[in-house]
Chains A and B, each alone.
Chain A
Amino acid sequence: MEINVLYYLLPSLVMFCCGVYGFLTRKNMIAMLISLELMLNAVDINFTVINRYIYPESTEGMFFTLFAIAIAAAETALAIAIIINLYRANKTVDVRDANKLKG
């Protein structure tokens, strides 16, 4: 059995759709953040795979993936900090309760 590009892209697509679905449906901010990470990781897989199969002689896709992982880590840290502060203010992490810009 030959492993072709489709074997990589299909799980990535499933991951992305799960991420989108989770982001749209969940009201818990932590869950939304996790869904966001799922989408990001699906995109990272796509970068790597397409780089490997279509332009095997270059490495930009790989580097972009590494770069995206670093940014995602920072973004997650920031998001968690915001969520913790919102929790302190509202005693909840439900996104529907975070509808006031003033504290």
Chain B
Amino acid sequence: MNPIIPLLILCLPLLGFLVLGLLGPKMSHKAAGWYGVLSMGTTMVLAYITACTYFFSGQPDFITEGGDRLQFIVFNQDWLAFTQSLVIRLGFLLDPISALLLVVITTISFCVHLYSLGYMEGEKGFQRYYAFLQLFSFSMLGLVVATNIFQMYIFWELVGASSYLLIGFYYTRPSAVSASKKAFIVTRFADLGFLLGILILSYYTGTFNFTDFTSIQEGASWAVSTDSAFGVLAQFQGAAFMGCSLLTWALVLIFMGGMGKSAMLPLHIWLPDAMEGPTPVSALIHAATMVVAGVYLVARLFPLYLMEEAALQFITVVGAITALYAAVVACTQIDIKRVLAFSTISQIAFMMVSLGVARPEFHEGLGYMASMFHLFTHAMFKALLFLGAGALIHAVHSNDYTAMGGLRKYMPITHITFLIGCLAIAGIPPFSGFFSKDEILSACYMNSTLWGVWMSFVAGLTAFYMFRLYYLIFWWDEPDYGHHKPHEAPWPMALPLVFLAAVSCVAGFIPFGHFVTWNGEPYTIHIDWLGVATPSIIIALAGIALATRMYRKKNDLPEKFAKASCGLWTAAHHRFYWDELYLFVTHKIIFNGICRPIAWFDRHVIDGTMNGLAWLAQRLSITIRPLQSGSVQAYVYVYLFGALLLGLITTVCVVL
């Protein structure tokens, strides 16, 4: 395959960032915006060409005679060569999931670029906004096509940095500034684990390359037959630490990086606050692309995770708890973007659980395929929901549903597209979310009934809170809008909504198993109507029905319910006090208990030693300074006595 097109996919957004960043202030808003849209549009077309070539061309590089998909490295350039074996390369790896992510990222990014033309119109720093969007797109594309785990880490940090820049876009607002710092610090903390995992893994395997890691599992079409049991993992044999094998530790630590980026439970606190950024940014970064990087990371190293059952179980447990937690919290939030943020956390947790329960023996690793399928459909409908929320905020100038209500009359396009998004996420056929969620639930039931029932319940909650949001925005009671009646979004905002809604309607019918499976072998999806699909539809409909009963028209049921729930509602409204817990731990325990004694030690013992030495030298110099007075007569005195003393000593020596 010609490396020009893949290279351009990476270079165009980078060039866009440089052009808009350096020349942006000299451009008009319109020129900068359209340049960004065109640059991203070209990248999108190139990404589509690349993905289509990979999936459909049937070249022997990409697909075997038997129809199994292969991993193909388009180019791999030495970048930092430390030693013969320790070489960091930058390259472009094409395989089912990277091709899928190329399509997802460029599509959403293009929609957001176009949408922002309307949403950010007249904002101060418009060019800077587009420059950061381009930087983010470049970093995210670099992340998904990484050929080795170190390249992934580099771009991983770059997306973190661009996310920081975009959350803090309104840098005059203190809440935006602290939210951006929070996001950066929390994900950085998680990345520490990621880095440790990388170091452990590469120390024992002597390689960074994904192709070396993924070729170890027998059964994958890109596997190489190795005489030693596990190829590069031979070094790991027997190495253990604290009761778990080192490979498990490495994989769990790497997953910790994914937990930070994907906002899994203990590290989720940054994502709701990240909604301080402009809404299109939330749609692009904090719903569709960057936050699924953790899922992508696990999927990328999936053959390695298969070696360690414990690591996969850890992922399942973390994902399942997060999914339930975020769904419960989403039922009580007032800020519509926060509802969507918690819904995002919950849906990403669905993908994580799906990866965690996937095993090759269950329908060829159905969970893996389901996870990637859900990643794809979720990116589309969640971006749609966020962009719809952006249109509402644009119309009402408030983030809270209390300022909305009855909007279906004023904003028909937004209403219909938002409804499609809600139906998709709730899992109602024939919208895309139904198909992917059904696959996930099937995978869960195959692994164990517990996770199946658990995730079905969360799916029901999802339907409930999404329709609660929908009814509170578009039905409920109409507040007094005054003279400024809400208006429909301008066409650059409406067009992406319609496009994404259309995709959400049809994406479920893609025969996904033919494109993306964990081992490259095609697999035909069949929906288990009786066992899984019908119950989950019934659960979703029940959730919707409950939401309709409670929120369609203004009534006092929600208040009664909140009062009757024995504090559960209040606790969920305060997100189960996770932020307070973090503040307590950081301020009371870490700052007061650990940092203050260390600061005291630093100031008094370490600085004290140094200051004492300086003081001693100063006193000494003051004491002996008069000797060097510059007065010749004083010198002669000393000289005279010295000479006499020497004469005396000589005399004594001679006489004796």
Contacts and interface: CB of A to CB of B under 8 A. Distances in A.
B524 interface: no
Contact of A23 (B630, B631, B633): B633
B630 A24 contact: no
B633 A95 contact: yes
B636 to A, nearest CB: 6
Contacts of A20: 640
A4 B633 CA distance: 36
A96 B632 CA distance: 10
B630 A99 contact: yes
Interface string A46-83: 00000000000000000000000000000000000000
Nearest to B630: A99
A23 B631 CA distance: 12
Interface string B615-639: 0000000000000001111001100
Contacts of B630: 99
Interface string A21-50: 001100000000000000000000000000
A95 B629 CA distance: 13
Nearest to B637: A24
A20 B643 CA distance: 13
Nearest to B640: A20
Contacts, number: 13
A96 B636 CA distance: 15
A98 B565 CA distance: 96
A43 to B, nearest CB: 14
A27 to B, nearest CB: 8
Nearest to B633: A24
A97 to B, nearest CB: 12
Contacts of B632: 95
Interface string B489-512: 000000000000000000000000
Contacts of B636: 23-24
Contacts of B640: 20, 24
A95 B631 CA distance: 9
Contacts of A99: 630-631
A99 B634 CA distance: 13
A62 B637 CA distance: 31
A99 B632 CA distance: 10
A87 B435 CA distance: 108
Contacts of B637: 24
A24 B640 CA distance: 10
Contacts of A23: 633, 636
Interface string A8-29: 0000000000001001100000
A20 B631 CA distance: 16
A47 B637 CA distance: 25
Interface string B311-344: 0000000000000000000000000000000000
A20 B640 CA distance: 9
A95 B635 CA distance: 14
Interface in B602-656: 630-633, 636-637, 640
Contacts of B631: 95-96, 99
A20 B644 CA distance: 13
A101 to B, nearest CB: 9
A89 B205 CA distance: 83
Nearest to A100: B630
Contacts of B633: 23-24, 95
Nearest to A101: B630
B465 to A, nearest CB: 85
Nearest to B629: A99
Nearest to A99: B630
A60 B637 CA distance: 32
Contacts of A95: 631-633
A99 B637 CA distance: 18
Contacts of A24: 633, 636-637, 640
A24 B633 CA distance: 6
B380 to A, nearest CB: 83
Nearest to A32: B633
A99 to B, nearest CB: 6
A99 B631 CA distance: 8
A23 B640 CA distance: 11
A20 B630 CA distance: 19
A96 to B, nearest CB: 8
B630 to A, nearest CB: 6
Contacts of A96: 631
The 4 closest A-B pairs by CB, nearest first: A24-B633, A24-B636, A24-B637, A99-B630
Interface of A: 20, 23-24, 95-96, 99
13 contacts: A20-B640, A23-B633, A23-B636, A24-B633, A24-B636, A24-B637, A24-B640, A95-B631, A95-B632, A95-B633, A96-B631, A99-B630, A99-B631
Interface of B: 630-633, 636-637, 640
Given A24-B637, A95-B632, 11 more contacts: A20-B640, A23-B633, A23-B636, A24-B633, A24-B636, A24-B640, A95-B631, A95-B633, A96-B631, A99-B630, A99-B631
